[in-house]
């Protein structure tokens, strides 16, 4: 008999044990093949565009590669520094995503070289080291002509060489080399009215030399004011505060002195 009374095949193999062995022999290779065929491969970043950011560069980044999938989280970290999900502050926002391309909106970043990390929940699934470089903000010396309206008693207080200040409470928001300088003052002989109360004032034309920063969308700024005609410039010292309208803004050569004292 092929199967005896004890359920053994050829008197040697137990049918249950044999069935388990056959099942494993068929299922394990099949499972491995299914895993290789249907598993989701990890994302791969092949190219980062742009890789260099200046103050004028829009904070948009494109990742090209393979196997991008939904619900990924993009994080930027300084190159060579350990990254911890417990203290992530530089997380990018996904704007567009396909399996081959991702467009990100970046947060404001300090100058330096950054790695890009992709996470799926708490698991890092891809990284591109030294993926992008952020250059420091460029500066320039901008000379602005400003039409100030002030009380007649204030006019003698305004002198060439006066330095601007910008404080919040007891904290200065400008370093000494970031402060504007009044380099020329000229009374125009015109009169004007000062709010509030429609007080009589006089017009003084001032030339202010400003160590300005480049705006990300073009142009220059100082104390968060765009240095262009029509914008209001505030110039303040320990003796007075002036509000004026910019009439003209002119970048000076890099070698031009700041006129400060």
CA 259 to chain centroid: 33
Whether pLDDT at 232 is above 80 = yes
From the list 165, 153, 138, 131, the residue with the least C-alpha distance to 234 is 165
Confidence tier at 14 by pLDDT (50, 70, 90): low
Determine the 3-state secondary structure of 32 from DSSP.
helix
CB atoms within 10 A of CB 141: 21
Whether pLDDT at 216 is above 50 = yes
DSSP 127: E
Whether pLDDT at 208 is above 90 = yes
**109 burial class (0-12, 13-18, 19+ CB within 10 angstroms)?**
middle
Of the ranges 81-85, 122-126, 194-198, the best mean pLDDT one: 122-126
**Cα 234 to Cα 241: distance, rounded to the nearest angstrom:** 7
What is the mean pLDDT of the segment spanning 246-253? 92
State if pTM tops 0.85.
Answer: no
Check residues 81 and 5 and name the one with the higher pLDDT: 81
Query: Which percentage of the chain shows pLDDT scores above 90?
Result: 52
Q: What is the pLDDT of residues 117-171, one digit of tens each?
A: 999 988 899 999 999 999 877 788 999 999 999 999 999 999 999 999 988 878 8
Q: Integer distance in angstroms from the first to the last C-alpha of the chain?
A: 114
pLDDT score for 259: 45
DSSP of 211-226, one letter per residue? EEEE-TTSSEEETTEE
**Kind and range of the H or E element at 252?**
none
Size of the chain in residues: 261
Non-local CB neighbours of 49 within 8 Å, separated by 6+ positions? 61, 62, 64
Give exposure, 15-31, as e/b (b: 16+ Cβ within 10 Å): eeeeeeeeeeeeeeeee
Whether pLDDT at 22 is above 90 = no
């Amino acid at each position: 008999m092929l199967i005896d009374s004890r359920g053994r095949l050829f008197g040697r193999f137990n049918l249950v044990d044999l069935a388990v062995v056959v099942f494993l022999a068929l299922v394990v290779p099949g499972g491995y093949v299914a895993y290789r065929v249907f598993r989701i491969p990890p994302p791969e970043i092949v190219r980062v565009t742009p890789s260099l950011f200046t103050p004028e560069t829009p904070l948009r980044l494109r990742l090209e590669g393979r196997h991008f999938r939904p619900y990924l989280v993009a994080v930027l970290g300084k190159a060579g520094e350990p990254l911890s999900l417990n203290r992530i502050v530089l997380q990018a926002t996904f704007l567009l995503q396909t399996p081959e391309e991702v467009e990100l909106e970046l947060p404001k970043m300090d100058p330096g070289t950054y790695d890009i990390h992709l996470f799926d929940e708490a698991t890092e699934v891809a990284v591109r080291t030294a993926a992008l470089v952020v250059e420091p903000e460029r500066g320039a010396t901008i000379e602005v002509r400003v039409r100030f309206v002030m009380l007649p008693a204030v006019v003698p207080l305004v002198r060439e060489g006066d330095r601007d200040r910008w404080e919040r409470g007891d904290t200065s928001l400008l370093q000494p080399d970031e402060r504007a300088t009044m380099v020329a003052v000229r009374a125009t002989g015109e009169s004007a009215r000062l709010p509030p109360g429609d007080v009589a004032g006089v017009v003084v034309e001032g030339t202010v030399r400003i160590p300005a920063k480049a705006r990300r969308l073009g142009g220059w700024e100082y104390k968060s004011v765009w240095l262009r005609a029509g914008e209001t410039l505030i110039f303040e010292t320990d003796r007075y505060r002036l509000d004026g309208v910019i009439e003209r803004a002119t970048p000076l050569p890099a070698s031009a002195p700041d006129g400060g004292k």
